[in-house]
Amino acid sequence: MTAKPSSYSAKDIQVLEGLDPVRKRPGMYIGSTDVNGLHHLVWEVADNSIDEAMAGFATNIVLTLLDNNRVRVDDNGRGIPIDIHEQTKKSALETVMTTLHAGGKFGGEGYQVSGGLHGVGVSVVNALSVWLRTEVHRDGKAYEQVYERGVPKADVKEIGTSDHMGTIVEFEPDSQIFMKEEGGLKEASFSLKTILDHLRQQAYLTRKLRIRIIDERSRRGADKDRPTDYTFYFEGGTSSYVRHLNKNENTESYAIFSVVEESQGVQVDIAFQYSEGFQSNQLSFANNIHTVEGGTHLTGFRTALTRTLNKYGEEAQLYGKDDDKLTGEDVQEGLTAVVSVRLREPQFEGQTKAKLGNAEVRTIVETTVGEQLYKLFKQDSQQASRIISKALLSQKARQKARAVRDTILKKGVLSGLTLPGKLTDCSTRDPEKSELFIVEGDSAGGSAKQARNPRFQAILPLRGKILNVERARLNRILEFSEIKALVVALGTAIADEFDITKLRYHKVIITVDRDVDGEHIETLLLTLFYRYFKPLIDAGNIYVAQSPLYKMTFGKQIEYAYSESERADTLSRFAEPQKVDIQRYKGLGEMNPEQLWETTMDPERRVLKLVTVDDAQEANQYFDILMGNEVAPRRKFIQSHAKEVAFLDV
């Protein structure tokens, strides 16, 4: 990267437009006014401090959660300039805090790279806070300015001397804007876990930056003794991140490879490691922004990895006469990678800015990684050979899976010409109006077939527990009859043949018994959907039916309870000394069709739980722990969370 700027003053602050529209349409600037938008305020303030670290000035950031829903962020960077800005005739501090798109990241020399995702800056935080205070330490003095809903209460004032540099921003979000409904309107509050997860990730991506999070909020009951002080510091950067992501994987045989290089003004920081597992976990970032849809940097890495492995494999004569060259799919099995680039002017594609579009970055990453990786493979030939052997096994398994898929296609099954015999289809052919109930066993299937509305509700009974796809390659998965039947019923095909536009039912509803076996089957199905049909989860097509646990009869009155607490509440409402007949449902097959319809299948009365993945990375780790081959992490997880289980029916 180019040399650090020698100065940082008012001339580096460039003004693009005013602040007025923010309070009128806050969603345009922070995405929403729910808890996600609330936390976006924290990211905007913290990003400014992280930008100081990326520029080489800040080494410590302290974020403190305070009572009254306040947050304070303190860094030891250069401190926001306080001299008079030539264009606004106000102090640079006031300009930054009260003018949209004003800052040192729009063409001045204050920053070479920046993590500002939308460029809205701290001024939006100010506009959406009922109260905000900024304190600046620089040039031996301390300065302060206070604002209410974005309006300064007074000019910037000197408040004393200082022997350090940095910026402190403390703010209280406006409760008139950030509200959530939960038994009535109330103020949205900050989640410690959400903040920890985000800032831990930022610490991994910024080597040798120390981030401390302190929770000073008043606590009661069981929460009062929880830890309140966390510190993240990772000298290994992306290598440390990969080690963290693979903590529940078997990586004994594989080393972590790391490439840290700068080329043509782009910093490339990449680490990856293979495991004995089958799933791939690749995270990409541009200027510390998580590009969840990838982009040119991720494409460049994948191309370089495949080409380099092929080049080394040919030179080392590791391919047999029947082996084909490795493809990108072959080398991704069991791969965990973190791809991070920093550049001066990132170009993001899509409305969510989740994909990097700079064309030159692909070439830079591809060339840089290819050259460095070839050297690393030459230095550690044993590791290179091991990776190629794993990729060749993956290739053969993929070829077998394709053969199975082609055989099915030739029979017309996956193309929808022949539906599985166990499927009881609905009469409508409009996917938007169609529902598929996946039920457990023939008994529940029989009840569901009688209970359903045949016009728009289809029933697919699955016999027994399906294969755990976390522990199998695709070729074995496709040979499992129950999974094959589900794939055929959905109509989308699977893996590289997957096509969401061919989905036959826009509501796919998992309907299992309310016992241990039912919960296990539900988990197996969710693992299948997450690993091989994730676009259906992203599109909101997957649901879990909430069937009742109890039927309670009070004379001629019948009540259903869907949880233990609901059962207790219902009994308390009928506390009079009348006879209560309580029936515990252990399986859907125990209900007659009328009961199943009115409790679980009737769109007017049923309760469906939409399956979502708010944090794909965390979900990925949970599936690894709960469904993977490693026993120790699963045992530890169960022991750690056992107390959270309120009721277990065995």
Instruction: Measure the CA–CA gap between 493 and 401, rounded to whole angstroms.
Output: 12
**Residue for token digits 């030459």?**
378
CB neighbour burial string for 406-440, b if at least 16 within 10 angstroms, e if fewer: eebeeeebbeeeebbebbbbbeeeeeeebbbbbbb
Is 569 marked active-site?
no
User: Of the listed 371, 515, 598, 630, which one is catalytic?
Assistant: 515
Is 513 marked active-site?
yes
Instruction: Measure the CA–CA gap between 202 and 185, rounded to whole angstroms.
Output: 33
User: Over 29-63, what HEC string results?
Assistant: HHCCCCHHHHHHHHHHHHHHHHHHHHCCCCCEEEE
Is 17 marked active-site?
no
Whole-angstrom CA distances from 257 to 242, 271, 377, 393 are 10, 6, 9, 21
**From the centroid of its chain, how far is CA 169?**
28
User: Of the listed 276, 517, 566, 590, which one is catalytic?
Assistant: 517
User: Of the listed 51, 174, 440, 522, which one is catalytic?
Assistant: 440
User: Pick from 115, 117, 149: which is nearest to 22 by CA?
Assistant: 149
SS3 of 290, please? strand
Dihedral sign computed on CA atoms, order 372, 374, 380, 382: positive
| E runs forming strands in 67-178 | 70-75, 129-138, 141-148, 151-152, 157-161, 166-173
Is 74 marked active-site?
no
Whole-angstrom CA distances from 82 to 131, 136, 160 are 20, 8, 14
Instruction: Measure the CA–CA gap between 55 and 116, rounded to whole angstroms.
Output: 13
Cβ–Cβ under 8 Å, residues 179 and 33: yes
User: Of the listed 513, 522, 559, 624, which one is catalytic?
Assistant: 513
Angle at 377 between CA 372 and CA 380, to 5 degrees: 125
Task: Enumerate the H helices of 316-417 as residue ranges.
Answer: 359-379, 381-410
Catalytic residues: 440, 513, 515, 517
